[in-house]
Structure 1
Amino acid sequence: MHLLASQIAAATGGTLHGPDVQVDSAGIDSRALRAGQLFVPIVAERDGHDFIPAAVAAGASAYLTDRAPDLALPATAIQVDDTFTALAALGREARRRLPDRVVGVTGSVGKTSTKDLLAGVLETTYRTAASEKSFNNELGLPLTLLGAPDDTEAVVLEMGARGVGHIALLCEIASPTVGVLTRVEGVHLEMFGSLDDVARAKGELVESLPADGLAILNADHEIVAAMDARTQARVLTYGLAPGADVRAENIVLDDQLRPRFDLITPWGAAAVALGARGEHQVPNALAAAAAGGGLGVPVDAIAAGLAGARLSGLRMELATTGAGVVVINDAYNANPTSMAAALGSLARLDARRRFAVLGTMAELGDDGPAAHREVAALAHDLGVAVIAVDEPAYGDGVTHVADVDAAVAALGDLTEGDAVLVKGSRVAALERVAQALG
């Protein structure tokens, strides 16, 4: 989105120092900045103001600062009271310039995949912008809004939370007209405290919707389905239940774990060949179909969008090594629900031997030890041999190793007919195992 420095100053209550240049979007990382962007220095573990010279050298047209600007730098400065608050204000200004097809997506699991699938659906009909990777917090969301091209017709925003009130803040910035809820699970309990608090936080999305908005709720998940009482917006449900407004029938998986199903909607039916892998992606696809259909995307276009959506990396990526070993790289993140889904997908593969290299499931609080043991028990029941990397909570009956190199060594000589799942929370960075297996 193009903005003049004077418009940025007006939106943030800042003071302009230098020429009234135009900027194209914004960034907070001087290493990733593109020429012509606005640099927003954030004060966190490191003070972003220290990197203003590097940002200008990288081509920033202008920068925010809450200190006296360095007028010797060849870039316009906008002096504000607080750069974090100013970024939120710029997000509101960007939203004001966008049309009323803004979709917020949240949930304990599945929100990134749902966001990706919905972007694919909307792109068949509208010029669409969507959150990159998992840009789902109070920094990433305004950056996504500012990064939307001027001719954008629809926006998909992933919304995460670390506690009650966070999604309400994101909604205050983004003013979504459509809200999609996937599931509410006992993940991140270390931050939330209880499942009730998770539900309260996630439901802030549907509470924020206008009366002429649209809430997309999971009919198969009781906690989410009950949120119809928390919104004034129109409600569409999705799921496998016969009563869902948007549902899937005749689900099958191909040999690459890609689901095929008949999509049933209020706007007609279509055959879907989903690009995402794993049967657990079907509800995410139905959520995307419901939101897309609610925004006027024809059902045939919905099916095409679900087939061709570009998915974020490290999520059920399937590759075959030169030795014929199938590797499922699902290493972006992990919680009990996604672990169970990934292990179930591994069990569906036609394989001689099945291994799972598993890292920690972080932020589960007091439920963590029991959750890890339950995952190990499920793997045993499915005939999957577990190699646990630096996580003793998986308990007895699994192979425990200290690091990635030891995990690769523990797998031994893999041959054609073997299959390996790699999964853990982001802190484990277990994609290195998949990379080592080639």
Structure 2
Amino acid sequence: MIELTLAEIAHAVQGRLVPGGSGAGPETVVRGESQTDSRELQPGQIFFARRGEETDGHRFAGKAVEAGAALIVAEREVDDRVPQIIVAETTEALGALATEVVRRVRERGGLTVVGITGSNGKTTTKNLVATMAARLGPVVASAKSFNNEVGGPLTMLRVDERTRTLVAEMGASAEGEIARLTRMAPPHIGVVLSVGLAHAGEFGGIEATFRAKSEMVRELPETAVAVLNRDDPRVAKMAELTRARVRWFGLHRDAEVRATEVEPSADGTRFTIHAAGESLPVHFRVLGEHHVMNALAAAAIGVELGLPLADIVAELEGATLAAPGRMEVLGGRDGVTIINDAYNASPDSMSAALRTLAQIRRPEGRSVAVLGAMSELGEYSIEEHIRVGLQAVRLRISELVVVGREARQLHISAINEGSWDGESVFFETQDEAHDYLLRTLRPHDTVLVKSSNAAGLQRLGDRLGEAYA
């Protein structure tokens, strides 16, 4: 974070400064990142005592002071050993400070803000863009999947005078949240990857999801660029909603950054990229043909940042993992491949992962899909789990292992398709599934482990990877 006095911070968050017993005053300078988790806090950082759904950060103010907090922002006075700023609502104050920091750095010049949203692919695209932008200078990018009202501003507060590019994921579980993040850090380049059923239950349907995902492009000024997926009809409609210049990516012939000759395999996907009047071959080692769209989105951003296509391709070819728990290839013993893709799941990403499993299965082995529940689908949940079960059968997946009561409908759907006899099995717990798989997996099998993060199958994927390391 840039240097700010306590008085400047108090003004930015509309709070009341309580100097405390440390001898600090209004002109005391604070420079450091911010945290809402006292366990993550480093000396000199700011602790925001935020009230969450499960706990109250005010209870941990003392631990934050002991960890070296330079300042506490809270809704009531909690610990007078360090300065405190008392605000009406801590999460809003966090966003207000992030807004002020980004505004000051932008005014000094040299900072480009890239905002990335979409139902799927945000983290993969963000990681690719961050490596590309690093060729131009220091980059701040969202850690993990920090893309909401808390993670977004925590990322933004890491920006300082040296930062050349801020790459911010902008996610949401309700309408209005992406608009708020966009106003905190107005993008020079705004990217929409897809509009799908991820979080549709929280949004209230696909049309509400469309409205939420379009908030970014609606906010972009004429001087900005909207990077849009030409292949997604809902994203393509957003060109009508923005004042910004539009740059298309996709497989569509109208896309300015596009891919042809796409050939998926077990070691990634090969394709030819066309951009900026050039064409180059790419071996993209991130597993799954669906990740080509994320690569194209990142390439389109790279072009806007002014990078030569050869440099963009070099970064794409250097990537081997979308992110931990996302199409992560593990195992290897006895020719068994474990694909751990259980960090998150939506109907679109589940479908794409199953297609990848079917494409890369070794002829001498089986394809085994270990699937858990997809979360946050609301009224669409039963229908979409049924659809995934049907797809597994129609793709001729050799065996389906369904884990967790919330995913049981997927198992029933596969059985009811009528073409299987015992190839779909159901287990209540991960331990049961783990033991079953260790007994039944055969040499050269390819195993996909896929679920929403809430289902917790990422640990099962890791255990299987360790067992077959």
State if a TM-score over 0.5 links the two structures.
Answer: yes
1:393 deviates by 1.1
Show the 5 A alignment for 1:220-369: 220-256=231-267, 258-309=268-319, 311-351=322-362, 352-369=365-382
Match of 2:189 in 1: 178
Does residue 64 (structure 1) correspond to residue 73 (structure 2)? The answer is yes
CA contact (8 A) 2:340 2:462 kept: no
What displacement does 1:189 show? 2.1
- Aligned counterparts of 1:303 and 1:296: Cα–Cα separation in 2: 14
**What is the CA RMSD across the aligned residues, in angstroms?**
1.6
- SS of the aligned residue for 1:386 comes to strand
Aligned-partner Cα distance in 1 for 2:245–2:112: 15
Q: Secondary structure at the match of 1:361?
A: coil
**Offset, 1:237:** 0.3
SS at match of 1:162: coil
Per-residue Cα deviation, 1:220-251 (whole angstroms, up to 9, x for no partner)? 11111111110000000010011111001222
Residue 254 of structure 1 deviates from its aligned partner by 4.2
Counterpart in 2 of 1:386? 400
Structure 1 CA distance, aligned partners of 2:425 and 2:296?
38
Q: Secondary structure at the match of 1:323?
A: helix
- Matched with 2:137 is 126
Q: Spell out the pairing of 1:62-211 with structure 2 (5 A cutoff).
A: 62-71=71-80, 73=81, 75-99=82-106, 100-211=111-222
CA distance in 1, matches of 2:159, 2:440: 48
Residue 21 of structure 1, CA deviation: 4.2
Find the aligned partners of 1:356 and 1:254 in 2 and give their Cα distance.
Answer: 18
Conserved 8 A contact 1:262-1:270: yes
**What secondary structure, in the 3-state scheme, does the structure 1 residue paired with 2:84 have?**
strand
Is this contact kept in 2: 1:21–1:76, CA < 8 A? no
Mapped to 2, the partners of 1:82 and 1:373 lie a distance apart of 42
1:274: Cα distance to partner? 1.9
For 2:245 and 2:462, the matched residues in 1 are separated by 46
Quote the offset at 1:80 in angstroms. Answer: 2.3
2:421 is aligned to none
* Structure 1: distance between partners of 2:323 and 2:463: 21
User: Hey, what's the Cα distance between the residues in 2 that align with 1:333 and 1:341?
Assistant: 13
The reply to whether residue 371 of structure 1 matches residue 384 of structure 2 is yes
Counterpart of 1:407 (choices 423, 429, 433) is 433
Q: Is the 8 A contact 2:265 2:360 kept in 1?
A: no
Distance of 1:307 and 1:424 partners within structure 2: 27
Q: Normalised by the size of structure 2, how large is the TM-score?
A: 0.89
* In 2: Cα distance, 1:274 partner to 1:125 partner: 22
Give the one of 37, 43, 47 matched to 1:29. 37
Q: Distance in 2 between matches of 1:255 and 1:110?
A: 20
Deviation at 1:401, TM superposition (A): 0.6
CA distance, structure 1, for counterparts of residue 160 and residue 318 of structure 2: 22
- Aligned partners of 1:236 and 1:245 also within 8 Å: yes
Task: Give, in angstroms, the shift of residue 344 of structure 1.
Answer: 1.0
Q: Which amino acid aligns with 2:331?
A: T
- Report the 3-state secondary structure (helix = DSSP H, G, I; strand = E; otherwise coil) of the residue aligned with 2:440: coil
Residue 149 of structure 1: how far off its partner (Å)? 4.0
Contact 2:339 2:447 in 1 (8 A): yes
Secondary structure of the corresponding residue to residue 335 of structure 2 = coil
Superposed CA deviations along residues 393-416 of structure 1, whole A, max 9, x for unmatched, are: 111522111010111123223232
Q: CA deviation at 1:70?
A: 2.5
Q: Contact 1:120–1:306 (CA<8 Å) still a contact in 2?
A: no
How many Å apart are 1:324 and its aligned residue? 2.9
Structure 2 CA distance, aligned partners of 1:155 and 1:70?
34
Residue equivalent to 2:419: none
Question: Deviations 1:85-144 (Å, cap 9, x if unpaired)?
Answer: 211111101211334511111111112211112212222223211111111111111110
Q: Work out the CA distance in 1 between the residues paired with 2:131 and 2:285.
A: 10
State the secondary structure of the residue aligned to 1:98: helix
- Structure 2 residue identity aligned to 1:23: R
Deviation at 1:69, TM superposition (A): 4.4
Asked whether the equivalents of residues 23 and 62 of structure 1 are also in contact (C-alpha less than 8 Å), the reply is: no
Separation of aligned partners in 1, 2:264 and 2:135: 25
Deviation at 1:28, TM superposition (A): 0.4
- CA offsets 1:294-341 (integer angstroms, 9 cap, x no match): 121211111122223474210000012433310000001111110111
State TM-score, norm by structure 1.
0.95
The count of residues paired between Structure 1 and Structure 2 equals 435
Q: Distance in 2 between matches of 1:109 and 1:166?
A: 17
SS of 1:64's partner is strand
Aligned counterparts of 1:414 and 1:278: Cα–Cα separation in 2: 22
